[in-house]
Amino acid sequence: MTADRTSRWRERTTSARQDSPLPGHFPAAHAEPATVRARRRRVVTATGIGGAVLLGISLSTKAGSPQFYLLTMGLAGTWAAGALGSGPLPLNMTRGREDARRHPVVMPVLTGAAAFGLFYGAAQLARHIPPLNRAIGSVLRYADDGSTPLVLLTACANAAAEELFFRGALWSLVQDSHPLAKTTLAYAATTAATRNPALVLAGTATSVLFGLQRRTSGGILAPALTHLTWSLLMLRYLPPLFQTPRPAEITRD
């Protein structure tokens, strides 16, 4: 009896090891039909170009102006529409006990908080480097001078939409060949449209992090949660480090 149970247990264990990938690793996606792949390529290319143009224009408008909010919401809409229109997108799943699949929430949020901590420490140093201080301050001006609810809305919308596009549609397109490197380069090239070195550096670093989460978790939910957490904490705690006195305040002093 005991020998039979041991034999059956070994058979189940061997079968599970052969059929199931290790936790955090997922089998390759099924090859998409040529027509679907061609459509995804066209949509992703057009969306990437349009998104980069809108990003560059939006950060050239006056902080707090209606044009800024319209353009940034339009940018989020562009990323989301392009991603959803390109084809199927994987949400996110990780493997738990007995191959049960679950959606990760806690770890991505904690990862976003940890990433913010690293960026906050780097910002403490960057504000003593004039070129980086000016570059970061010019971006945070949109948070300082704008409507807080609208700034939060546009930031969250763009964080989620960027993950739909870069870790969703674009990743699915290039997943057969170095997707982490290619999506990171694409994200860096997009932020380069702003001509802001601080944004390019931050975009490159975060793209690597979000890409690693995409590769590990198998979908876009984990990087989206991390991106949202990181963005909200950056908006809340970074602006005070780079605030400069208004002309009226200097006159009074």
Report CA 159 to chain centroid distance, whole Å.
6
Give 201-235 pLDDT, tens digit per residue: 999 999 999 999 999 999 999 999 999 999 999 99
22 compared with 198, residue with greater pLDDT: 198
pLDDT at residue 97 is higher than 70:
no
Look at the chain and count its residues: 253
* Residue 56 banded pLDDT, cuts 50, 70, 90: very high
Segment 22-51 shows an average pLDDT of 77
Give the list of residues 6+ apart from residue 61 with CB closer than 8 angstroms, or none.
67, 68, 71
pLDDT value of residue 91: 80
pLDDT at residue 252 is higher than 70:
no
C-alpha torsion sign, points 62, 191, 41, 228: negative
Reduced DSSP (H G I as helix, E B as strand, rest coil) percent helix, strand, coil of the chain, to 5:
75, 0, 20
pLDDT value of residue 129: 93
Element (H, E) at 111: helix 106-126
Segment 179-197 shows an average pLDDT of 97
Question: ∠ CA 27-41-228 to the nearest 5 degrees?
Answer: 65
pLDDT value of residue 99: 44
Cβ atoms of 170 and 37 closer than 8 Å? no
pLDDT value of residue 242: 87
Instruction: Return the minimum-mean-pLDDT range out of 68-72, 86-90, 119-123, 151-155.
Output: 86-90
What's the whole-model pTM score? 0.82
Q: What is the mean pLDDT of the chain?
A: 85
